[in-house]
Amino acid sequence: MSDEPLYGPPRAPFQREKLPKGPMQAIVFRVFGLGLQAKAKGDPQWQIIVYFEVNYRYKEGKFEGKRALLNQVYTIGWGERAWMRRDYQRILNREFTPEELKDVTKLNLRMIEGHNCMVNVVHREKEGITYNNIDGVFTLMDGLAPMTLECDPKFIPPYVEKLLQNRVATTPEGAAQKAKDGVTPAQTSQAAPADFDDDIPF
């Protein structure tokens, strides 16, 4: 997914600072639980959004001198082909053990916070606005010194607040399916802001 508008409201004309394209070192800032999110096609999905603080400092605007934040949205899933599991393993630089995968409800979605990795930055245009997007997450390259977080740990990006406002209300049936899929309140609400209420009836 992309970065957020730096100047002015979304979709209003503004000058966006383009990040260099290609591999860039990053550190995972925060994992936010988004609850149940509607999809353009198909049923709503339980999702998280991961924010990466990347090794690039804005050269202008209100964030001048600060590192850029990019994000990636994932549908929660621990299957062998799940993108979330793939990227978590790349960030952690290890595969999950069979013992861990026997009961994925015990896995903490915030386990990647503070870990270094690489992200591949690309530019994508939508409705006349060019966005800095992540197109791939990889294990930290050998020889790079680890980054430390600079972003305020209490910062909640406005885009997260917007997605939380748009989340789909949870029904008892949906909560039951959530448990069946290995998604627990400890995974979604623990990864959410302090005032997040996922409406889980258990």
Q: Is residue 8 part of a domain?
A: no
Q: Is residue 198 part of a domain?
A: no
The predicted pLDDT at position 113 comes to: 97
Strand partners, 147: none
The predicted pLDDT at position 193 comes to: 44
Whether the predicted pLDDT of 126 surpasses 60: yes
Whether the predicted pLDDT of 182 surpasses 60: no
Containing structural domain, residue 144 = 22-188
Which pLDDT tens digit goes with each residue over 138-169?
999 999 999 999 999 999 999 999 999 988 87
Whether the predicted pLDDT of 200 surpasses 70: no
Average pLDDT of the chain?
A: 82
The predicted pLDDT at position 129 comes to: 85
Whether the predicted pLDDT of 81 surpasses 70: yes
pTM above 0.85, yes or no: no
Q: Is residue 119 part of a domain?
A: yes
- Provide the number of structural domains found in the chain: 1
Which pLDDT tens digit goes with each residue over 53-71?
999 999 988 889 999 999 9
Q: Is residue 30 part of a domain?
A: yes
Q: Is residue 93 part of a domain?
A: yes
The predicted pLDDT at position 197 comes to: 36
Q: Is residue 134 part of a domain?
A: yes
